[in-house]
Structure 1
């Protein structure tokens, strides 16, 4: 991290051109002075009778000067390459400082005026250096602020702290080879009806695992680690479902089959008792967001529209209680509490934190998952058959870069 500079002091190197150009340089230097940056500029620092070479040499090499700003225009480029006049003299002083230091941060090229055809006028000795560009009026303020930050030693783009090795690095595929081979068969040339039946049967097999999920009896109290471990066990079903989801592109109108099986899962876990019931309802919530994220990512708007506008019959045995996609929403306070306790943090949503930190990157990235969650919120506002009196609340919205989408 670069050290902050409390009192920046800069020397401005530029080529004498027209009177208007000198006024432009003077205005720029004045702005820097107004922003607390001491500026050494010949127009107010060099007096009659002074030695210009000594002034340039002292200013360019003075250790109290924190930066030298090299204002570039076509005149400067020409004089620097030809070692002509004062610019040529400064080039002879500055270029060794640049060439002889692999990592130098003192000399900063600033594009001040472009060529007739918009070309960037960089002298040969500055060709490989990154620069600031003050030639575009619409971006001037932003670029000027970037420059001022740089002069104060403030990182323009803050480097994030180094995190921990992700847990998924050491994970092996939990999907059996036989299962994966079966899914591969969906790519083969078969009739649509056969492929639909095979795809549905694969989904129903996963559904049965989810609905029938049981663990050893838990007492009245379960530790945070035990509860998280219980939810960890559902990831096997999540990943198998999502692995199969990738093959849906080979199945005509697969989204109708997926929505139907999600509906059946919802019926199966809706009234499931105990901690197993809790985690399976949370898993269903997570799976639904992944399905929406997958359709959004692949621009499958027919599937998206169908899934979000469908009426789901999720009462017991499917005979009652018609609902919209809010049927898949779950609020697991036990998982929220367990994740916060385990990490000794007060998370906004422990459930969302768990989802984001264990994202299945084969389906979507973190921001795509968050966007899908927020998209469900917006759909809840506009979908006509949304049945709940409350709108789908996106648990994950504080964990992505898209919080502006939620109101």
Structure 2
């Protein structure tokens, strides 16, 4: 529990009637029950004590952090006339408002409707406990005032949008404004949450479209462009994580549209402005990264319905997308990463998977870890195997898990299949894969090409003696009968 300072409050009031005194005592008891230390003459003074000296002492007591004036007609009259104990207190209070206690530490509480406040307090904001219908609401205001925790508080000053002041890194995120508005809408559950996320994704797409390559660009410039895109990925992950917490399926349809739009940057239009292989592969790579992060965050938040929806979605291909002459629509395999040689040429040393290595360099374990991205890559591969078996196809219809190698040295199942020993969790994973059991694992092993490159292959990277072990990764022995 947070260490919250206990406010100490002195209540100044008039002994107008026994009923009024009881009303004040009840209020004081309520405040004490809510963590407020109350100094009340009824509790502090006994026979033989000097009441006037007590009042003066309390108003001047440095340990008293706040003062409440209970306003009824008699209190106001005595305060204005400076008569009786109330007059003594109000003389001191009128001075305290501008000196030691401060103007925000003394408040008038109305105990009667339409009562006038003392002249010295007339223009100041009060709390009205005279209306029974609004008593609870006003009491909360009083308690908040005592603790200094107000309902409406100015937010902490943020940083200027990057289009106003570029950061020291020189990386300017032109999505910054849309990002902050979307995050705020998601966290506060605002009515405009759908439109704010839509605006962010559209702005991100616009910024992605600005990445252009020149024939004179070197691989260092390719890496520099990738490096500059990392900050956009971090924003994307934060937005996606908040969207999962918000739990609104309409938001995720915006992501489907966003990813579909990204396909247009891989078009090669005949007789149009030529696109360099480097540029096309750049767009393929960053789209692949965003897809892996999106699905990984969904899985981490156990948004399994959204994972299944994404993998079952049918995406419309741009007119001049690769192989679009054969089909205008495709499933998630449209985001499969393959290269025409440029990314492969970036290798300065031999990697089992240059794409997996670049993903590792690209990852910062913010929200989802590199291992989680690799496991997601393998889950999508498994999904593609299931579809390939249904359609009696293989080869190009299978997702190549470029990052999967980085979990192949493990002798344990993927996290989602380890957690699938719990029946309810496994039921969700089966929905994603659209299976009733893990029988497909044995089927693939029976059909696989012994050399690893047939229609139903178990990926093995060049120079590696390891290949995907479906039995281990799917926790097959423990789950086969579930």
Q: What TM-score does the superposition give when structure 1 sets the normalisation length? A: 0.50
Which of 204, 222, 231 is the aligned partner of 2:226?
A: 231
Matches within 5 A, 1:187-336: 187-191=187-191, 194-215=192-213, 217-219=214-216, 223-249=218-244, 250=246, 252-253=248-249, 254-271=251-268, 273-274=275-276, 275-316=278-319, 321-332=328-339, 333-336=341-344
Aligned position for 2:117 = none
Which of 351, 358, 376 is the aligned partner of 1:354?
A: 358
Contact 1:290 1:363 (C-alpha < 8 Å) held by counterparts: no
Question: In the superposition, relative to structure 1, how do residues 185 and 308 fare at CA in structure 2: closer, same or farther (>3 Å)?
Answer: same
Quote how far apart the aligned CAs of 1:233 are: 3.1
d(CA) in 2 for partners of 1:244, 1:171 = 22
d(CA) in 2 for partners of 1:386, 1:251 = 36
Question: In the superposition, relative to structure 1, how do residues 276 and 184 fare at CA in structure 2: closer, same or farther (>3 Å)?
Answer: same
Runs (5+) with no aligned partner, structure 2: 1-167, 270-274, 415-467, 475-482
Question: In the superposition, relative to structure 1, how do residues 198 and 291 fare at CA in structure 2: closer, same or farther (>3 Å)?
Answer: same
Contact 2:344 2:354 (C-alpha < 8 Å) held by counterparts: yes
Aligned position for 2:469 = 404
d(CA) in 1 for partners of 2:262, 2:284 = 9
Question: In the superposition, relative to structure 1, how do residues 331 and 226 fare at CA in structure 2: closer, same or farther (>3 Å)?
Answer: same
Contact 2:314 2:329 (C-alpha < 8 Å) held by counterparts: yes
d(CA) in 2 for partners of 1:188, 1:266 = 32
Structure with the bigger RCO (C-alpha within 8 Å, sep 6+) is 1
Contact 1:309 1:385 (C-alpha < 8 Å) held by counterparts: no
- Give 3-state SS (helix, strand or coil) of 1:303's partner: helix
Question: In the superposition, relative to structure 1, how do residues 385 and 314 fare at CA in structure 2: closer, same or farther (>3 Å)?
Answer: farther
Quote how far apart the aligned CAs of 1:336 are: 2.8
d(CA) in 2 for partners of 1:404, 1:227 = 34
Which of 367, 372, 394 is the aligned partner of 2:401?
A: 394
Count how many residue pairs are aligned between Structure 1 and Structure 2.
229
Question: In the superposition, relative to structure 1, how do residues 251 and 202 fare at CA in structure 2: closer, same or farther (>3 Å)?
Answer: farther
Question: In the superposition, relative to structure 1, how do residues 335 and 397 fare at CA in structure 2: closer, same or farther (>3 Å)?
Answer: same
Structure with bigger gyration radius: 2
Q: Deviations over 1:356-399 (max 9, x none)?
A: 12214123112111100000000112246899843001001111
Aligned position for 1:364 = 368
Quote how far apart the aligned CAs of 1:173 are: 8.9
Runs (5+) with no aligned partner, structure 1: 1-169
Q: What TM-score does the superposition give when structure 2 sets the normalisation length? A: 0.43
d(CA) in 2 for partners of 1:280, 1:296 = 24
Contact 1:269 1:277 (C-alpha < 8 Å) held by counterparts: yes
Q: Deviations over 1:177-231 (max 9, x none)?
A: 645431332222433xx3212211110110111123224x233xx5433332233
